[in-house]
A and B are shown apart, each in its own frame.
Chain A
Amino acid sequence: KAGVTQTPRYLIKTRGQQVTLSCSPISGHRSVSWYQQTPGQGLQFLFEYFSETQRNKGNFPGRFSGRQFSNSRSEMNVSTLELGDSALYLCASSSDSFLLYEQYFGPGTRLTVT
């Protein structure tokens, strides 16, 4: 079974631009979660989508948004990029709630904002 895939793997954007990251979960998984990892703030939970609905959200500004499609693929969008948005963005999928089912992480998208 293929793992979680994230595209692109690396991205360089300019401050003020917007960016869209994509995550394809493991086949059959309906829950997709997004995380931001930076040297300064560490790992932070962004949001979780389940069956096309946002089920939970971390403490991030509205510039960070996401969506999930009917095939469970998910996208994360960051508008009006700031230098501090430079980070590794990780996506994880699970069958349902990751309290009950293991989350599987993708390798991440490395975003650099200049």
Chain B
Amino acid sequence: AQSVTQPDIHITVSEGASLELRCNYSYGATPYLFWYVQSPGQGLQLLLKYFSGDTLVQGIKGFEAEFKRSQSSFNLRKPSVHWSDAAEYFCAVLYILRTGTYKYIFGTGTRLKVLA
């Protein structure tokens, strides 16, 4: 069955440090991949998405993600974290089914805390 795993429930980094949030998925073909951010009391905001092409994707707020087919991973990175990046981050995977419909699965989220 299709699944999405975000192995880190909580991550704490110091402001200015680099960040990498992990996301692994299970599927035979290349799915559509997304990263979202959710600030407290807010809805989700799309950071970036990958469908095909260049495996390094640039997003908003200085985030990037790299698709690695061999590792079934789509990790999110930021070279220098700002205090305002403290939020919860969700990886999502969309699978197009043979019926033409799709299955849209979210990871359990990683809560990021930023130390001043």
| Chain B nearest Cβ from A8, distance in angstroms | 15
The A contact surface, by secondary structure, is strand
Asked whether B55 is an interface residue with its Cβ less than 8 Å from the other chain, the reply is no
Chain A positions 51 through 77: 1 when the CB is less than 8 Å from some CB of chain B, otherwise 0: 000011110000000000000000000
Number of A-B contacts (CB under 8 A): 38
Asked whether A103 is an interface residue with its Cβ less than 8 Å from the other chain, the reply is yes
A-chain residues with CB within 8 Å of residue B106 when the two chains form the complex? 42-45
- Interface contact B46-A102, CB-CB below 8 Å: yes
Interface size class of B (residues with CB under 8 A): 20 to 34
Interface size class of A (residues with CB under 8 A): 10 to 19
Kindly report which residue of chain B lies nearest to residue A110, judged by CB atoms: B41
B-chain residues with CB within 8 Å of residue A58 when the two chains form the complex? 103-104
A-chain residues with CB within 8 Å of residue B109 when the two chains form the complex? 42-43
Asked whether A108 is an interface residue with its Cβ less than 8 Å from the other chain, the reply is yes
Q: A43-B106, A43-B109, A99-B94 are in contact. Are A56 and B101 (CB under 8 A)?
A: yes
B interface residues with partner A (beta carbon < 8 Å):
32, 41-46, 51, 90, 92, 94, 101-109
